[in-house]
Every structure is written in C-alpha cells, then in structure tokens.
Amino acid sequence: MQDLLRTGLVAGRHQRWLLFADTTRRDEYSLGRTPQEVRSWLAAYERRQEEKLTLNPDSVQLHIPTEEELRQPPPPPPPKLTTAIQLPSTPAAKALARTQTIQLTQQLWQAGLLTAAEYRRNLPLAKEGAFYSRRNLLNTVNALARSSQGLQTSDELPPMLLRLGLLTSTQAQQLTQDLRAGEFADQVELLPRLPHGRIFNRQHYPAAMLPYLEQLHRDVAKLLPGLHFTNFRARVLTPSEMSSCLGCEGAEDVLVQLQIGTRQYTHRSEWQRGFGPGGLAEIDDTRFYHLFNQVLADQGSPHRLVYVQSTLAQHLIGGPERFGLWRLTAAQAEALDTLAASALNLEDYESFDILPTDTVTAALRSFTALGFLRHLTPAQRQAAEARLRQARLTSREGVLQFVPGSVGEYRGDPDYRSWSYARLLQVLRGASKGSFTPTQVRDGCQHADGTLGFQLGQRAYHTALYQANDHPDPRLFQLIQRALRDQHIPGKLYEVSSALAQSRGQVVCYVFLSPAQERIIRQQRLLNLTDPTLTDAQRYAEEETADMAADSVYLRGQ
C-alpha cells in the first residue's frame, strides 16, 4: 500500500480511500493482493477519477448480507452493453496521454507491479503513443497477463499440434518448454513457430493505400503455395456505387481486384481511418483475406485461411495494428477449437463453407430462370451481379441478398413502430406478383387480438388473429391458402430467411412459388422454405423429425 503512495500511483489526498480499499472485503472496492488484482483496482481508481465519482470512504455504505442472502446471493448485474471511449483527438491531448502512460509504466515498475518482461514490452508502446489513457494501459497489461497465463498452461496444445501433423516431435517438445517458461504473451506470437502461419503488422507496410494493399495481398498469397496473381487494382468506392459504408465515421468501402490465371476476383472490404501515432489507415483485417478463401474454394482445396486475433491489438486503439493468418484444413481448425485452454481463439472458420464461384453462378442462373430477377432493369441486374462478385457466399440463397425486391419484406422496428396485418397483405400481394390480390381489407388487430377480413375474387374471408407484435399469426396464412385454393390460383406463400432482406431491423421475408418453382427450389436447395401456416409447435415437431432422420442416415453410414 505504501508503494502505491510512494510511487504516485495513488494521490496523497486519496490515502483514506486506499486504506478503505485495503481493509474492506467487498470485491467492488477490494485492493487485492496479486499484481493483477492491484492493477485491476488501479484501473477502477482511474475510472472513478475520469468520471469524477466519489473517492470519499465516508460516503460508501457497505451492505452486510443476511444469512439468507449468503445462502442465496443475488444474481450479478447485467453487463454494460457499451462503453464510451474518449480518444485524444488533438496533438496536445495525444502528447498528454503519451506522457501520462510513460509515467504510469515507470510507476508500476517502481511499485513492483510489472515484471521485467512486462516493463520491456509496455514502455516502448507507451513511448509510441499506443495507449490512449492510463486506464487503457492498465487494462491492456492485465489482458496480456491473462493471455500469457492461458498460453503458459496450454499443455494440450503441443500434443494436438503434433497429432495434426503441424509440428514434429522435437518442435512440440520445444514449444512445450517455451510455453511453460512464459515466452509468449500474445496468441499471435505462436504463429512464427507454426507452419503456414504469419503475423501481419500495418506498421511494416507503405502508408499509401495502393502499395500497402498490393504488398499485403502478396504477403498473404505466400501462405498459399503456387498461388500468384496479376493485374492488382484497388480503389475507394463512391456512394453512387452502393457503398455499404454510407455514414460510417472514419471508414469507406474499398474494392480490390486481381487476376489468378484467367479468372478475375473482386472483393469489397472496409478502409478504416488510422487512430495510431502515425495515423495509418488500414484495411479491415477480419474480412479482406476472404478473397483468397474464395480462390481456395474454387480450386477445391481443403485449406482455408483462419484469422488469429492479437490480444494486444484487441485492447489498443491505434497501437500495433497486427493480426495473424493461419492456413488450416477444416479438421485441423475444428480439432484446435476443442482446446478451450489453447488461447488461440481461432475465428472465421465458417469460411470453410464458402461456395465455389461456379456454384454461385449456377445459383444465379437458376434464380434468373425462376423469375426472381424479372423485375430488375438491365442496369439493376448488372449492378446486382457486380455486387455478387464482390461477396463471399456460404449458401445458394445468399444470391438473393444482392437482388433488391426478390423477396417480400414485412418490416417492423425501426421502420414501423408496430406490425400491421394490412401492411403485411400489401407485402404478400407484391410478393405474389399479382396472383394474390386481396381487396376490402379490414384489420381489427392493430392494438389487440381481433379479426381480419378481406375479399378475394367475389368471396369474403375473415379469421380471428393475435395482434402481430412478434410474428404474424399462422392462421392468417391458413386463411390465405384456403382462399387461393377456392379461387383455383396455383401456388403458395413461404417464409424465407430474413437475412435476404435489404432492410435492417425486425423483418420477415416471404416468396410466392408455383408448384413447379417450389419443386426446383427444393431439388437444387436454393432456399430454405418454411411453411407459415404451421404453428411454432408444428414447426418444432417437423424440425425434430428431420433431425432424427438425418441422425439415422449418419448412424447407418457409420
């Protein structure tokens, strides 16, 4: 405690607060005993000063729990969903943050709250201006300490790497020794020891966008033996080119194009303004490399690039912009993911499901033949196809994400404050391309359960419905289906994935299919069709039956 006062980590005027924290047993205020616990307390102390909260122990009313509360402690409070971060924006503010974090690093070292390795790691970062506040430095040091401890106890990792053929016996033994010795503090630091893995650091590349992106893509390509590309191009998209970053603060859409063999590849990603000392802008490191996963999918390769996040970069805004990529098979990625203590935290292994370009092209032709693009002008169709070439799809139905108006979108919040059956009937009329044309709609379910009626042809239809707050009542679709049969109109409405919507927020999507269209879609697995006439219980029963059938097929195959 005296070391905290002597080194200036705690101001002299807050000595009573420090004494209170050192004697109380409540976790909210407890100083702790290990360096990591004390650093966590110091981070809370810095937060209280930043937010001008009280540091007067007399104002704290400690609650003494009853015996009943000790037997049944209250549930923990819900986590905060967002945390406001005040970044230094002016040169003076950045210089002040750099001075304060250099001083804090030295104070922590003098108080014995940093190991020699932690001091050697963090002092250069503070001098570079990587930390944006004293609290950020404390939290980052603790995050790296937790990462280091996780890696230090990763006894199962080297044997797993050996079994997967990623290390030799000698390499596995050496890695085990280095892990136990605490050689690694950040999970990406393992990658240079592993085959087909690499760390990428923005600071090692040119500042200008085009040379930076070209060199970065060439370095990624080195992880894929025999892969060479030509005709590299990159440019920032304008709003007229359907940028997905309209209104994004400090970010723009960037389009990268290159050629491999005779095939052109295009990928849309995000160009992000730099916050670090050098202010270097950079590509979205979690997305850009999927262009190469598309190439691997087209080549029928079992390998994909898997993202490994840097613990250090995760906690710094504007620090070393580094990340890792590792070339693995699906079996290797799945096996490594079972090691909860490996601290590798592999991400994006859904990229193993990326569809080959030819499969996506065939799905587009099928949807075109089925009439899903009929409402588009030639220019709109060309734009949809261009956007499709810039994306990576994991399902055939994903094609329709780039075809506005291909599905009927029944929208709620934030476009509408409540659901409306009258509006839903308009959506279904549009989705049916005029096959279902209800008139004289009477919606009595706007604010409570009620009755809805409409006329189709010369007949009137009505049914009792629940108010549509969460999801449309299946009785409405039962009524519509009966009306279609009565009028001898072939076809049926189906619910499809809300991911196909162009809107954001609460949305339910529908398509109207003739029997022939439905047959083709199911045969080619173009869409996951859900029957909206079924209740939730009936849907669950169908899903359970399908799962049991799939399990039976799997067991017979074994």
- Rounded (5°) CA angle 141-147-153: 135
Q: What is the pLDDT of residue 415?
A: 85
Q: What does the block give as tokens for 175? A: 């890695």
| Under 8 Å between Cβ of 482 and 495 | no
462: phi then psi, degrees, rounded to nearest 5: -155, 155
- pLDDT (0 to 100) of residue 244: 47
- The single-letter code of the amino acid at 25 is R
Distance CA(491)–CA(518), nearest Å, equals: 9
**β-bridge partners, 270:** 253
User: Which residues are within 8 A (CB) of 474 and not within 5 positions of it... i.e. 6 or more apart?
Assistant: 532, 533, 534, 535
Contact 312, 144 (CB under 8 A): yes
The closest alpha carbon to 487, from 431, 439, 435, belongs to 435
The pLDDT score that the predictor gives to residue 245 is 40
With bands split at pLDDT 50, 70 and 90, how would you rate the model's confidence at 436?
A: very high
Residue 175: what pLDDT? 92
Vertex 142 angle, CA 138 and 146, to 5°: 170
pLDDT of residue 19: 86
| pLDDT for 79 beyond 70 | no
Who's near 266: CB < 8 A, 6+ residues apart? 255, 256, 257, 386, 389, 390
Range of lowest pLDDT (2-6, 83-87, 450-454): 83-87
Of 228, 226, 236, 285, the C-alpha closest to 256 is 236
Q: What are the pLDDT digits (tens) for 22-76?
A: 887 777 788 888 899 899 989 988 988 888 887 888 877 766 666 776 667 666 6
Q: How confident is the model at residue 540 (pLDDT cuts 50, 70, 90)?
A: confident
pLDDT above 60: residue 554: no
Res. 97: pLDDT tops 90: no
**Mean of the pLDDT values across residues 155-167?**
91
Q: What is the pLDDT of residue 74?
A: 64
Specify the residue for token string 């890696």.
Answer: 151
Tens digit of pLDDT for each residue in 227-246?
Answer: 999 999 999 987 655 544 43
* Confidence tier at 247 by pLDDT (50, 70, 90): very low
pLDDT for 551 equals: 60
Give yes or no for a contact between 387 and 406, defined as CB atoms under 8 angstroms apart. Answer: no
91-110 and 134-152 helices cross at what angle (nearest 10)? 50
Give, for 364, the enclosing helix (H) or strand (E).
helix 357-369
pLDDT of 307-361, one tens digit each? 988 888 877 765 567 899 999 999 998 888 877 655 566 776 678 999 999 999 9
- The model's pTM: 0.82
Which range has the worst mean pLDDT, 154-158, 228-232, 382-386?
154-158
Q: How far apart are CA 152 and CA 37, in angstroms?
A: 19
Q: Are 399 and 367 in contact (CB under 8 A)?
A: yes
* Predicted pLDDT of residue 83: 55
Contact 130, 316 (CB under 8 A): yes
Per DSSP, 451 falls in state: E
End-to-end CA distance of the chain: 64
Position 501 pLDDT exceeds 80: yes
> pLDDT confidence of 85, banded at 50, 70, 90?
low
Cβ burial, residue 36 (10 Å; 0-12/13-18/19+): middle
Exposed, middle or buried: residue 228 (CB in 10 Å: 0-12, 13-18, 19+)? exposed
CA nearest neighbour of 530 among 464, 470, 477, 465? 477
Q: How confident is the model at residue 95 (pLDDT cuts 50, 70, 90)?
A: confident
- Give the pair of three-digit tokens for residue 480: 């519509």
pLDDT the model gives residue 542: 73
